[in-house]
Structure 1
Amino acid sequence: MLGFCAALGLWAYEFGKDIAGIDRDAQQELVRLREEIGRLRGEHDRAVSVANSADTLLKTEKATQDSLAARVKSLEAENLALTRDLAFFERLMPSTGGNRVLNLRGLQVEVEAPGRLRYQSLLMQASGRTAAFQGRYELSLSGLLDGKAWSHVVREASQSVNLKQYQRLEGTADYPSAAVVKIVEIKVYDAAGKVQTSDMARL
């Protein structure tokens, strides 16, 4: 009788639970929860993707900014060099007077080390002249060596002149390291060997 009553009670419980829809609701809730988990995982993946994209964009933007900063720095250096060149050329513009074929201006000399100096000057056609000029230039140094007067003429194959409007004369010159250079002079000769112009710098 006890077993029969227990079986009858269990049957009544299961039958009542089925009638009440408890299992069906639990199954639907499980499905709903799984769908919600899937949705949340999708949103999480999208959020991670957006975060990764934002990080990539930030890195790209930083690289672009660094590149632009380097370019700006390069342009500033180029502008400074051009400004200096412009000032150099403006200062060396030849005068309109006189009958000279050429004008040699702005001789600059810098002693780089004992026995070596660097020079720079600008050779320009006289105003109104358009014919090409060919010739050569000669660099001469003078000063003291062992307490005595000393001079030296620098002759190199590269000291040729071939210009239509202007030509920068520049280079280096070697001399005895014990010598003390006082004067540097440049003379420009035409093809016939006649001096056309000259300039001098004192150290």
Structure 2
Amino acid sequence: MRFKLLRRRLTISAPRMKVRSAMPWPLRWASAAIVLGFCGAISLWAFELGKEIAGVDNGDREELSRLREDVVKLRQERDRIQSILNTSGSAITLERAAQERMASQLRVLDAENRALREDLGFFEKLMPASGTEGVAIRGLQAEVLSGAQLRWQVLVIQPGKNTPEFRGQLELSFSGTLDGKPWTMPLPGGAQALQFKQYRRVEGMVNLPPEAVVKNVSARIVEGTVSRAVQNVSL
């Protein structure tokens, strides 16, 4: 019987035992609080010691505060400069647009000036020469352009006052060489009807054959079957 009891106490089937402290729980909580407070004090002391070793003190805090104020001022200055740059950029854009408009207006004025000079020369040719009567060709101009094209212009006048209206035709012919051989070509489409009282300016474009070289342009004013005026121009 004793052997069985002894075996039960020495084996796994032995009854469990709990060891309890004889110290009351308020004392245990107080001891834990004392230990935590001691640990906190040691941590605070270590932190302060670390600050002293690292050189972090109240002066550094003031320096940090001053640096923060400087950063704020620098940001404000940056924003002000950026605003000035944006305004300058807008002003430069407006100035460039104004310059482009001015350049465009200058080109238009230059074109108008050239047209006025041409008109001035045109109307100067309207002044009849002394002793001139009837229909006359006062200006025949021709210019070969790139692309095998020729631009021509004829000014026809009828000097005098209270002259009757002229009704006739304008004939043009172009002569020169084509592939090294003599060449002549009339105005494409035939003669142009001409009707005016004092003056008339007629102009147009002609497509030339490839390899054609124009050396002379002839203009003739015809009334019915009668030739009233002829003028030639060499190129």
Tell me, yes or no, whether TM beats 0.5: yes
177-186 or 142-151, which deviates more: 142-151
Aligned pair partner of 2:112 in 61, 66, 78: 78
Larger Rg: 2
Q: Rate the CA distance shift 1:81–1:165 in 2: closer, same or farther, 3 A.
A: same
1:126-141 equivalent positions in 2, closer than 5 A = 126-141=159-174
Q: Rate the CA distance shift 1:64–1:175 in 2: closer, same or farther, 3 A.
A: closer
Aligned residues: 168
Q: In 2, distance between residues paired with 1:94 and 1:158?
A: 25
Aligned pair partner of 2:153 in 116, 120, 130: 120
Aligned to 2:143: 110
1:176 maps to a residue whose letter is: P
Q: In 2, distance between residues paired with 1:81 and 1:152?
A: 30
For the Cα contact (< 8 Å) 1:96–1:127, is it kept in 2?
Answer: no
Structure 1 runs of 4+ with >3 Å offset: 63-77
The structure whose RCO (Cα within 8 Å, separation 6+) is larger is: 1
For the Cα contact (< 8 Å) 2:179–2:212, is it kept in 1?
Answer: yes
Long gaps (5+) in structure 2: 1-96
> What is the CA-CA distance between 1:167 and the residue it aligns to?
0.8
Aligned to 1:14: none
Aligned to 1:200: 232
Per-residue Cα deviation, 1:32-62 (whole angstroms, up to 9, x for no partner): xxxxxxxxxxxxxxxxxxxxxxxxxxxxxxx
> What is the CA-CA distance between 1:106 and the residue it aligns to?
2.0
Percentage of matched positions with identical amino acids: 40
Q: Rate the CA distance shift 1:129–1:186 in 2: closer, same or farther, 3 A.
A: farther
> What is the CA-CA distance between 1:98 and the residue it aligns to?
3.3
For the Cα contact (< 8 Å) 1:103–1:124, is it kept in 2?
Answer: yes
1:56-67 equivalent positions in 2, closer than 5 A = none
Q: Rate the CA distance shift 1:76–1:145 in 2: closer, same or farther, 3 A.
A: closer
- Give the TM-score normalised by the residue count of structure 1: 0.59
> What is the CA-CA distance between 1:113 and the residue it aligns to?
3.0
Long gaps (5+) in structure 1: 1-62
Aligned pair partner of 2:200 in 161, 164, 167: 167
Q: In 2, distance between residues paired with 1:177 and 1:103?
A: 33
